Amino acid sequence: MELRRKIDKIVANLLIFIMGVMVLNVLWQVFSRFFLGEPSSFTDELARYLMIWVGVLGAAYVAGRNMHVAIDVLPSRSNSKTQKKLQIIVQLLIIAFCLFALVIGGSRLVYITYVLEQYSPALQVPLAAVYMVLPISGLLIMYYKISDILKNK
């Protein structure tokens, strides 16, 4: 569990940093638009990419803390043995989704945008770097769910 706490702390600090950069970015946009009379050209794009990272990485963090949205109609009406089985089934489904959609699909997206050398228009950042959050978050969620399964055995 020590590793899990370290990963949680790293992800939480990264999310705090990204949110801080987003706040500064938006403040600069407002300042440049209203006080300088000329809006900054990169702030909209940076805010969009930071929001992608916060959303997807935040989902991994929330999944690790088991604070994600869940419909618990079946488990609440079942006995404890059935609840454990349902919990394992749900965690296995989450692992499968993360493997296929986030890790494999996200890695393919990163690879394609890297090979095609796609860059963002204003920042000239490789879009592969923006999309890298997909496989990273997928691996994090898979780690958390595998850890949960092993802990609850």
pLDDT tens, 134-143?
Answer: 999 999 999 9
* Cβ pair 87, 152 in contact under 8 A: yes
- Residue 75 is predicted with a pLDDT of 75
Joined tokens for residue 119: 């860059």
Residue 13: CB atoms within 10 A of its CB come to: 10
Q: Is the pTM of this model over 0.85?
A: yes
Return the DSSP state at 126.
B
* Cβ pair 20, 59 in contact under 8 A: no
In this prediction, residue 67 has a pLDDT band, given cuts at 50, 70 and 90, of confident
- Residue 1 is predicted with a pLDDT of 63
* Cβ pair 49, 130 in contact under 8 A: yes
- Residue 111 is predicted with a pLDDT of 98
Each residue's pLDDT tens digit, 68-93: 777 777 777 788 888 889 889 999 99
DSSP string, 27-89: HHHHHHHHTSSS--SSHHHHHHHHHHHHHHHHHHHHHHTT-S----HHHHTS-HHHHHHHHHH
Q: C-alpha dihedral over 115, 117, 120, 124, to 10 degrees?
A: 130
